[in-house]
Chains A and B, each alone.
Chain A
Amino acid sequence: MKKLLIFALIAVLAVSAVFGLAACNKDNDWAYIEKKGEMVIGYTIFSPMNYKDESGNLIGFDTELAIALCEELGVEAKFQLIKWENKFFELESKNIDAIWNGFTVTEERKESTDFSLPYLKNKQIAVVKKSNAAQYTSIESLAGKKLVAEKQSAGESAIMGLEDITYTYIRQESQLEAVQEVLSGTCDVAIVDRVMAEGTLKGASFQDLQILDLGLGGEEEYAIGFRKGSPDTLEKVNAALKKLYANGKIQELAEKYAIAESLIPIE
Chain B
Amino acid sequence: MNFGQVTLQLLEGFGTTVLVFALTLAMALPLGLIVAFGSMTKFKPLRWLTRTIVWIIRGTPLMLQVIVVFYVPGLLFGVNFTTRFTAVIIAFVINYACYFSEIYRGGIESISKGQYEAGQVLGMTKAQIFFKIVLFQVVKRIMAPVSNEVITLVKDTALARVIAVEELISASNDIMAGFGIIYPLFYAGVFYLIFCGILTVMFNFIEKKLDYYR
Contact = CB atoms under 8 A, between A and B. Distances in A.
B178 A51 contact: yes
A51 B76 contact: no
B182 A180 contact: yes
A83 B164 contact: yes
Contact of B74 (A19, A52, A94, A204): A94
A95 B80 contact: yes
B84 to A, nearest CB: 8
Interface stretch (A195-203, A216-224, A228-236, A247-255): A195-203
Interface in A65-89: 80-83, 86, 89
A82 B183 CA distance: 23
Given A54-B1, A82-B164, A47 B80 contact: no
B76 A205 contact: no
8 contacts: A21-B76, A47-B177, A47-B179, A83-B162, A83-B164, A86-B71, A93-B75, A201-B180
A86 B70 CA distance: 12
Interface of A: 18-19, 21-22, 25, 44-47, 51-56, 80-83, 86, 89, 92-95, 174, 176, 180, 183, 200-206
Interface of B: 1, 5, 8-9, 12, 71, 74-78, 80-81, 161-164, 166, 170, 173-183
Nearest to B176: A176
A201 B178 CA distance: 10
B164 A80 contact: yes
Given A18-B77, A22-B75, A83-B164, 14 more contacts: A19-B76, A47-B177, A47-B178, A54-B1, A81-B170, A83-B161, A93-B71, A95-B74, A95-B80, A95-B81, A174-B173, A176-B176, A204-B181, A205-B176
Contacts of B182: 180, 183, 205
Contacts of A82: 164
Nearest to A25: B78
What 7 pairs across the A-B complex have the smallest Cβ distances? A203-B180, A93-B74, A51-B178, A25-B78, A45-B177, A205-B182, A81-B164
B71 A89 contact: yes
A201 B166 CA distance: 24
A179 to B, nearest CB: 9
Nearest to A180: B182
A145 B63 CA distance: 32
B179 A203 contact: yes
B158 to A, nearest CB: 13
Contacts of B12: 56
A205 B81 CA distance: 38
Contacts of A206: 180
A176 B79 CA distance: 33
B74 A202 contact: no
B20 to A, nearest CB: 16
Please indicate which of the listed interface residues B5, B8, B174 has the most CB atoms of chain A within 10 Å of its own CB. Answer: B174
B178 A45 contact: yes
A61 B75 CA distance: 31
A15 to B, nearest CB: 9
Given A201-B180, A203-B180, A52 B174 contact: yes
A205 B180 contact: yes
Nearest to B75: A93
A94 B162 CA distance: 17
A7 B61 CA distance: 30
A22 B76 contact: yes
B199 to A, nearest CB: 27
A68 B8 CA distance: 29
Of A80, A183, A206, the most chain B CB neighbours within 10 A belong to A206
A18 B85 CA distance: 25
A176 B173 contact: yes
A205 B182 CA distance: 6
A94 B73 CA distance: 11
Nearest to B78: A25
Contacts of B161: 83
B50 to A, nearest CB: 19
Contacts of B81: 95
Contacts of B9: 52, 56
Given A81-B166, A201-B180, A45 B173 contact: yes
A171 to B, nearest CB: 16
Contact of B180 (A18, A19, A83, A202): A202
Contacts of B80: 93-95
A46 B76 CA distance: 32
